[in-house]
Structure 1
Amino acid sequence: MASQDYKDGGSTGLVPVATTNTDIISLAGGIELPAVETVVPDLTDLKSLSSSETEGVVPVEEQDQMFRALKEVLSKTEGDEDVFDVQELRDALESADTAAQEGRRGPQLLGGVAAILQKLWQSESRYMVEAAEALANASRDPSWRIPFGQSGVLQFFLQLIATPDVDKDLLFHSLRLIGNSCADTDENREIVVSNNYTRAIMRLTLNPDLVHVAIPVIYNICTDFEPAQTQVATNRLGYILLKQINDGAVKGNALLNFTYELVEMAAGQAEGIENSPDGTIVLMMNIALKEDTTFAQYTCLVTCLAQYLQAERFQIASIRHKLVEHIISVLERSFTIEVDESVSEDVQLLNQLRLKLNQTLGDISALPTFLETYPIGSPLVDTLQSWLIRRQETLQICACVVLGNVARTDEICQLMIDQLNIHRALIHNLNNNTIGGVLHASLGFLKNLSIAESNREKLGDADIIPAISKIWTYDTVPQVQLAATSVTRLVIASNVKNISRLLTSLSSDPDSPAHLRTYLSMLLSLCSRTDTAPIKTEIGRTICSICRTLLSRKKAADVDDETSTLLDRLFDLHKDIARPVGAMITQTEWPVVRSEGWFALALMASHDKGCPAVVDCLIDTDIYTQVEKSLDVTDDESAATGAAATSEQLQRKGDRDNLVIMVKELLSRDPESLPKGKKERLRELMNRAVSLRS
């Protein structure tokens, strides 16, 4: 927006309204909403005209002479000797404009104007207002601005507005001159800021007769001038203006536009956020939810609110004062506020703000004190649960993120499933959404719920595996596929019933080709076609978990028929079952994952039907090379045990132990698919590793 140009005009007679919207304010118990009079910095340390030394009152006759001198200075033309007339001063300024057609004026042109103004002030001259008005009119011409600053005229009027009990008309024209002199003129802005006179202008925003000019003056000083922005933000301009907007003291579209821009500017300064009262965010939300708040005003307020809520101090305050429900009301308001859908920039801005609010709510709900204020069964949790099946994607994602953060302990996760049946809404989303954001958020929440072991069977009962299996086919959204495979791994961990569900045939018709395919077959198919290493690793870890659960039970004395049947299905229907485990071994980022892979292969090799799967894995040259490298142990490595060994050495030793077991199991079963040369080499390496270990 261009700098404001101040023309002559009278007061608009603005007065603060007596009533305010207190919907949020009345509910924010104990939060501080200080009156603006107590927030605006005092001016006791500013130099004012009343503190200047006086030389006594100048007689009226001398005042007339001073005005004639002032006229000569301003006009630089021959004039008559009549007593000063205001119109003559205006005419003189116009003559000076004509004389300086190139628009360049130096401070010497103004001569002793500042001194004349000082004496007229001290004499309480009746010409003071008229002189200020004439100079303010002149300041509309950009060529006068630098001379006003260099000659001391600007400084005089800055001192004047810092002086108590000044006539409102004189203040009005003084503000006009200051505002015009600072428009696009950093040299004059520096004069204002270096002496901290922005505080005096801010205080005048409280005057209902001057607010309509004081706010644009601040705008002109701050536009594209960082020092001024920092200063007014530090002095709590954001809170002051928000309080006045909320109280109805700022009216008119033009003035409100300036005001909202200044609020947003102050929110962009770290100092403004640090020094603002907690009640600042209450005011933002209260105004944002008013029915007469426009789209542009709403987006400004939400932008500022998101910036404030990045600070942990305001995040904690929003919990302590129970403001989170109002934040979600602001988010919900974004779906009812009037916006021109044909303006793509507005639609994009609204979506960005929704995303920011979601991120903010995610940060707040992750704080330890959130659950203390908003426990399971609280109205906020109930509202968020209802959002899980809302049509608006943003609200669904918000509910998943916030409630997912609440689900931080097994006890809470159990309550969410046992009492709220919250998992059914999430699984419904998996079955009925192809939108990446909703799916990813729902899966993230389900991951948290799956960590509690007692929840896994209930998730399986709610058909989570068939729902997740659809997502394994979404090759265009690998991040969603990864989340889906992670949930699968957690759900089947140490849970035979869910493993059985994973091994269920895709068709109950014996004549259908799908009868010999299982949900696990779909997961293995994903592993073979994806290039995403984390997905391969997660699938491999799922296989490891199945082997650990079933093969550990098989070794127990009380092994049941169900386990044997599941193991037969595992190896008979999935000849490539060990290949995802191979991906765990060849990856280099996580040594502990590699160790988990060696352990799983050792378990598989201990089963007659699992042995061919291990051989199928070892056919891969890279994996076989890893086997040789890990078994080819040196004397020094073998001696590295106990406290003297590093964690890396101990891990390599553990890997070798598992490999020795794997090779022993393979050689004892003598699988035909393993080439004779590799058998001999493996036997040689195993014997050497065993001898060194003993």
Structure 2
Amino acid sequence: MENSGPISKGPAHGQGPAKPMAATEPDDVLNDPSSDSLPLKSLPEDSPPPCAPARDGEKLSKEAEEKMFRALQEIFREAEEEEDNFDVTDLLAALEVADDQSKRGRQNPQVLKGVRMALDKLWRSGSDYMAQAAEVLANGSRNPAWRAPYGRSGILDFFLRVIASNGVDADILLHSLRLVGNSCADTDENRQLVTERHYTIPIIRLFGNPEVVHVAIPVMYNICADFEPAQAEAAKNGVGYALLKLLTENEIEGNALLTYSYELVEMSSEQAQGIERSPDDTLSMILRLANDPDLSFAHFSYIVNCLVAYLQNERFQRRCISETLVGSVVSVLGQSFDIDPVNLSPEDTPGLAQLRLTLNQALSDISALPLFSKAYPLGSELSTTLLSWLDGPEDQLQICACVMLGNLAREDGICEAMIRDYNIHVPLITILKNDDARGSVLHAVLGILKNLAIAGNNKEHLGATEIIKATSPLWSLDAVPQVQFAATSLARLVIVSSLKNAARLLEPLSSDPDSPAHYRTYLSLLLSLFGKTDSSPIKTEIGRTIAAVCRTLKQKSAEDSILAERFFKLHEDVARPLGAMVVQTQWPVVQSEGWFALALMASSPLGSLAVVDCLQDIDIFQLLSETVRASTDEAPREETTNEITEKLRKAKDRDNALILINGLLTNNPSTLPGTRRDMLADLLREAGQERPLI
């Protein structure tokens, strides 16, 4: 929104005459319950702005007062009558103090010094003409040409001091505010004067005066709009809280005044000090406004932006949880979908989408806090709402539900209850099967499913609901790598320690024996992805999935033997992802996991064939040699805990490398060249093992 511009004379807006302000110093007014002012505890009590002098000077004669006032009227008569075509030269001529420079049309603050002196006399003498003089000058301030001269001549400072004083008549306050507001419109040097001398404090205080609040708010807007120093000063002095209090109590009327108020509230929330100094009940007031179904979209946007800013502050995040306000934030997000897009402008439509994204992020941050799960356990009204959103049509609501419920699903007991008692996996897997689901929704769904899959008792439920089949199309989703990686990772988590899910991974893609897909499995799809992707994390996840299958099949039961035969015979390149695990150096633990899985494979005749295929990569064979030859014997010295852990890890890697060689030499696969066999045997002898380990 642009600056409010000139503030016109208007009727007093309020009920009855203004109450007299308490005769106290400015500092005392801040917390004086008898004052018309708002009880703004956030306002500073030091460095108050200067006040106007006492009105107890020598009284002027009626003739002198009238002469001064008529001079002022004459000065600004033409400005009032022909505001759009005001001639500065005529004004200076009327003053009869114009110099040559002024006659050429240049505004000279010196011209107004006499006006400033006249004001001082009228004020000190307690003249009845003071209100009329203030009105004349306020009308003159509507002309942009005289805004800077008002500031330089001291006229603006005079009326700022009046505003900062106690016991000022309502009509004088009204026109003083008008002059300040007009003088500060698009005039940074005047705004700087207001800011540096802390005059935002008395202006904010006047929000509590029903006689002038309708002018004080636009004045504050003119001071702050597009001027960050004033925004910071006003925010620190509590402008946001003051306006929120008025808004929640329905004390502000008229769309324009409401718009200024909401925009000022948003401006205040963009300043860290404004949020940090806000009282604890600020958040509840913001939410009360944000949940008002009758808000216009513009006002809704301002207050939601303010809400999001407060929810980025740790104190208010915690208060949001402790005061059980999270449901109200969720309600704001839900309410955003009640806004009819037909009523929005082309510019508003992307703005609404952005509001939803920022709200979602705020709720994600809040639900990630440890306090959240204690305040909102599974079965609470909030979780019931979130569960219902999973079946709904709105992407952002589905994402919100997935993220918040996913943050709740951090303990095995909760994860198991989600599936056992609430069947949460059913709508989640349904979304995965939806060809029209957007990448952001898929990513959120996969995120919560990964949390659920960690709990051991959930794996069978997930597998029985065809989670592998539902996830498999996402493995080829190259256009959305985040989804591709999450889907690959989910497959691994479902397989870990689950023989039934390992069997499901090895099921044929087609039940038709005549179809080529009958001899391809879901694991084949992962291996195909491994061969195409350049993503190291995805390659690693595929390798870890294969390692998990190897662990599951090591029991060598009858069923395991059948699966093992299918595992190796249908996937001759199954060991290659394990080779990628040992070659990478980013995750040492993953490297060790790869050596262990390769050792397991080499211990069986079919598995040894796959390992030989892997060792065709010269880099992997070279690494095998280096791992066996690595010495763990070093000169005695004091070692750190990390050094000891790393030393033990390397020793285990060496042991698994030796077991791998032992398996190959024992099973003697037909694909192992004689030269390679001799090299492996030499490695064993170097390691002090004349015969293969069993």
1:43–1:199 contact (8 Å) kept in structure 2: no
Q: Secondary structure at the match of 1:610?
A: helix
Matched, 1:561 2:558: yes
Q: Could you tell me which of 383, 387, 403 is aligned with 2:405? A: 403
The Cα of 1:651 is off from its aligned counterpart by 2.7
Q: Tell me the CA shift for residue 76 of structure 1.
A: 14
Which has the larger displacement, 49-58 or 318-327? Answer: 49-58
Structure 1 unaligned regions, length at least 5: 17-34, 78-85, 555-559
Give the letter aligned to residue 674 of structure 1.
L
Residue number in structure 2 paired with 1:172 = 174
Contact 1:388–1:399, Cα closer than 8 Å, also in 2: yes
Residue 628 of structure 1 deviates from its aligned partner by 2.4
CA distance in 2, matches of 1:679, 1:15: 101
Q: Distance in 1 between matches of 2:65 and 2:474?
A: 88
Residue 9 of structure 1 is matched in structure 2 by: 9
Report the equivalent of 2:458: 455
- CA offset digits 1:189-219 (Å, max 9, x no partner): 2221222111111122222332222111111
Q: Distance in 1 between matches of 2:683 and 2:171?
A: 100
Please name the residue that 2:503 is paired with.
Answer: 500
Q: 1:521 aligns with which of 521, 524, 537?
A: 524
What is residue 300 of structure 1 aligned with on the other side? 302
Q: Which moved more, 1:2-11 or 1:486-495?
A: 2-11
Cα distance in 1, alignment partners of residues 89 and 308 from structure 2: 50
Separation in structure 1 between the aligned mates of residue 37 and residue 69 of structure 2, nearest angstrom: 40
CA drift of 1:223 comes to 2.0
The answer to whether the aligner puts 1:441 opposite 2:444 as a matched pair is yes
Give, as a single letter, the amino acid of the residue that structure 2 aligns with 1:268: E
- Aligned-partner SS, 2:5: coil
Asked whether 1:614 is paired with 2:611, we answer yes
Q: Does 1:491 align with 2:488?
A: no
2:691 is aligned with 1:689: no
Residue type at the aligned position of 1:39: L
Q: Percent identity?
A: 50
C-alpha distance in 2, partners of 1:641/1:209? Answer: 86
| Per-residue deviation, 1:233 | 0.4
Whether 2:531 is the aligned partner of 1:531: answer no
Return the alpha-carbon distance in structure 1 between the equivalents of residues 209 and 240 of structure 2.
17
Q: CA deviation at 1:383?
A: 0.7
Give the alignment of 1:83-98 within 5 angstroms.
95-96=90-91
Rounded to whole Å, the distance in 2 between the matches of 1:214 and 1:208 is 10
For 1:526, give the aligned amino acid: L
Give the structure 1 partner of residue 602 of structure 2.
605
**How far, CA to CA, are the matches of 2:475 and 2:77 in structure 1?**
86
Q: Which amino acid aligns with 1:392?
A: E
Is this contact kept in 2: 1:341–1:347, CA < 8 A? no
- Cα deviation digits, residues 401-423 of structure 1 (max 9, x gap): 00000001111111111111111
User: Per the alignment, do residues 50 and 353 of structure 1 end up closer, same or farther by CA in structure 2, a change over 3 Å counting?
Assistant: closer
Worse-matched range after superposition: 176-185 or 604-613: 176-185
Aligned equivalent of 1:677: 675
For 1:234 and 1:342, the matched residues in 2 are separated by 34
Farther-moved stretch of structure 1 (199-208 vs 213-222) = 199-208
SS in structure 1 of the partner of residue 572 of structure 2? coil
Post-superposition offset of 1:456: 1.1
Per the TM alignment, residue 51 of structure 1 is displaced from its structure 2 partner at its CA by 4.7
Q: CA deviation digits over 1:63-114, x for unaligned, max 9? A: 3455577689x5999xxxxxxxx99xxx998831577465533332123433
CA distance in 2, matches of 1:316, 1:413: 24
RMSD: 2.9
Q: What is the CA–CA distance in structure 2 between the aligned matches of 1:539 and 1:491, rounded to whole Å?
A: 13
d(CA) in 1 for partners of 2:343, 2:474: 32
Name the SS for the 2:123 alignment partner: helix
Give the direction of change, closer, same or farther, for the CA distance of 1:291–1:123 in structure 2 (3 Å limit): same
2:322 maps to what in 1? 320
- Indicate the SS of the match to 1:13: coil
Contact in 1 for aligned 2:406/2:447 (Cα 8 Å): yes
> Could you tell me how far apart the structure 1 residues matched to 2:450 and 2:601 are?
27
The residue type paired with residue 4 of structure 1 is S
CA contact (8 A) 2:6 2:185 kept: no
| C-alpha distance in 2 between matches for 1:45 and 1:582 | 71
Query: Is 2:340 the counterpart of 1:338?
Result: yes
Spell out the pairing of 1:67-106 with structure 2 (5 A cutoff). Answer: 67=69, 95-96=90-91, 100=102, 103-106=105-108
Distance (whole Å) between structure 2 residues aligned to residue 449 and residue 226 of structure 1: 47
Long gaps (5+) in structure 2: 17-35
Q: What is the aligned residue count?
A: 655
Counterpart CA distance in 2 for 1:93 and 1:662 is 97
Amino acid at match of 2:498: N
Q: Match of 1:337, as an amino acid? A: I
- Cα distance between partner residues in 1 of 2:91 and 2:361: 59
- Name 1:546's counterpart in structure 2: 549
CA displacement 1:524-573 (0-9 Å, x = unmatched): 1221222211111101001111111211x13xxxxx31111111111122
Letter of the structure 2 residue corresponding to residue 37 of structure 1: L
TM-score, L = length of structure 1: 0.88
User: Take 2:636 and 2:46, find their aligned partners in 1: how far apart are those partners?
Assistant: 75
Q: 1:292 to 1:101 in 2, by over 3 A?
A: farther
Confirm or deny: 8 A CA contact 1:216 1:255 kept in the other structure: yes
The answer on whether the counterparts of 2:508 and 2:518 sit within 8 Å (CA) in structure 1 is yes
Aligned in 2, Cα 1:614/1:235: closer, same or farther, shift over 3 Å?
A: same
